[in-house]
Amino acid sequence: MSTKEISTALISVFHKDGLDNIVSILKGQGVKFISTGGTQQFLESKGCQVTPVEELTGYPSIFGGRVKTLHPAVFGGILFRRDNKDDDVQAQEFKIPSIDLVIVDLYPFEETVRSSNEEAEIIEKIDIGGISLIRAAAKNFRDVLVVPSKNEYSKLEEVLKEGNGSTDLETRKEFAFRSFGVSSHYDSKISEYFNRDFSLPHMRVSELNYKELRYGENPHQKGIFFGDFEELFDQIHGKAISYNNLVDIDGAVGLIEEFEDASCAIIKHTNACGMAQGKSILEAYERALAGDPVSAFGGIMACNKTIDKACAEKMNELFFEVVIAPDYDDDALDILRSKKNRIILRKKGNVPNTGLVKTTLNGTLWMEKDAKTETISDLEDVAERKCTSEEKESLVFANIIAKHTKSNVIVIAKDNQLLGSGVGQTSRVDAANQAIEKAKRFGFDLNGAVMASDAFFPFPDCVEIAHKAGITAVVQPGGSIRDKDSIEYCNKNGLAMAFTGTRHFKH
């Protein structure tokens, strides 16, 4: 039969919160309880008669609680096949009870890793009996319903109410799927912890939190976000966040986290179309917007300081799909909320440096995040004219933007303001021409500006283009066999050039 009545439940959980209603329902349906330790005490406090696991197995909890449920009387009751005559005979012979419902909530291993550096404490939070119960019950889903974590308590409550003490095969199989997901995730996190000491190549990506999106990059593509967005942001206002929003938010946050002084970044299709610093967040915003007020429409606005009323009033003159800041003044929020669909996010912390993953062909690529950010001390003057202190400050600023922009990229900046960028070009010459043309189109004077490149110049042509536009200093990684050609051009024309020694390709 596909429908099974629950007569006996084994419950062994770390978190008891949310169990009250479930226990009440099971008790009302005449279900027998098997349990041990703290869970047994909890059940008994709710007026339930409980058979201790120790009574069932004939063994006490031993080795400081490491061994409690690991016994044939327990696992036999879960695993024996009810429609198999030989199994039934053996169950009766060894007086093994039929266990129809298993509720487990594992020791909080992940939480312990986050909160403690004590190896002994962490190791003791590796659940052995609980994970074994989950796998056994999930394997025998034709006869047993398994609940693998506190996150499934509410769904179990619905099932118990709807089925009046019985479960169907489809429900049990769905819970089995969820259970193997929990067990594999749990083991993945344990494996990650042990690999901290070895850093061996391995790929075990597991995430239980997920959110279905309206669609993927385009409406005909399905999209899902796996992760805990609420860990990093509070959404204060606006419509549901889309796939493209998430990609752009990632780009915006990665860039804005590089700066400490009041800064604003405007992102469009993951690239900065505006970026600037100022004495106030309002000044930073106005200078960022000036970089490309056309592309800014419908973009992502990210600030690294609290948005006040004055800044919000200026922002509200243009539609930004997403606004990000560490906080907002109340009157600023009132203004920004005036646009119904605008997504307003409060950023709670920095994005963790967990590496980058990309599916490619029939495999997966992994690499470290580009965590290298050059400072003034990393700039090596290579031309006869040395960079001035003002030029060095602007070169560092421009180089950071280039790091966060699609290759090939050329960035032109001055006084910590993005003036123009050539983005995602197949030729570095095209990127340079695009950056200069764009800066001039929005009225910037490039005399005294600086230029940054994400990779070296194979020829001196980009330096020549920059010089003719009025640019006076250039930063690049260096490393071309023809570096001397670019340096010679600088020497002949009074330009300064600095090498960083670090390439920042981004594809």
pLDDT value for 47: 93
Estimate to the nearest angstrom the gap between the alpha carbon of 130 and the chain centroid.
28
Residues 6+ apart with CB under 8 A from 1: none
Of the pLDDT bands very low, low, confident and very high (cuts 50, 70, 90), residue 299 is: very high
Q: Give the span between the Cα atoms of 423 and 506, in whole angstroms.
A: 11
Q: Give the span between the Cα atoms of 502 and 455, in whole angstroms.
A: 8
pTM of the model: 0.85
Does the annotation mark 139 as catalytic?
yes
Task: Please name the residue that has the structure tokens 């963790």.
Answer: 352
Of the pLDDT bands very low, low, confident and very high (cuts 50, 70, 90), residue 263 is: very high
- Cα dihedral 454→460→464→467 (10° resolution): 60
Residues 6+ apart with CB under 8 A from 177: none
418-422 vs 363-367, strand pairing mode:
unpaired
Catalytic residue among 27, 125, 139, 155: 139
pLDDT value for 168: 94
32-35 vs 263-268, strand pairing mode:
unpaired
Q: How many CA atoms lie within 13 A of 23 on its CB side?
A: 24
> To the nearest whole number, what is the mean pLDDT of the chain?
95
Give the mean model confidence (pLDDT) for residues 295-320: 97
pLDDT value for 462: 96
Q: H or E stretch including 336?
A: helix 330-336
Taking CA atoms, 132 is separated from 52, 122, 181, 219, in Å, by 18, 19, 14, 42
pLDDT for residue 2 is more than 90:
no
Does the annotation mark 269 as catalytic?
yes
473-476 vs 4-5, strand pairing mode:
unpaired
In the chain, the percentage of residues whose pLDDT exceeds 70 is 100
- 41 with 13: CB under 8 angstroms? no
Whose CA is closest to 172, among 149, 142, 197?
142
Catalytic residue among 189, 269, 339, 506: 269
Which pLDDT tens digit goes with each residue over 324-364?
999 999 999 999 999 999 999 999 988 887 889 999 999 99
Q: Give the span between the Cα atoms of 102 and 79, in whole angstroms.
A: 11
Three state DSSP letters for 338-353: CCCCCEEEEECCCCCC
Which pLDDT tens digit goes with each residue over 186-237?
999 999 999 988 988 888 888 888 999 999 999 999 999 999 999 999 999 9
145-147 vs 101-105, strand pairing mode:
parallel
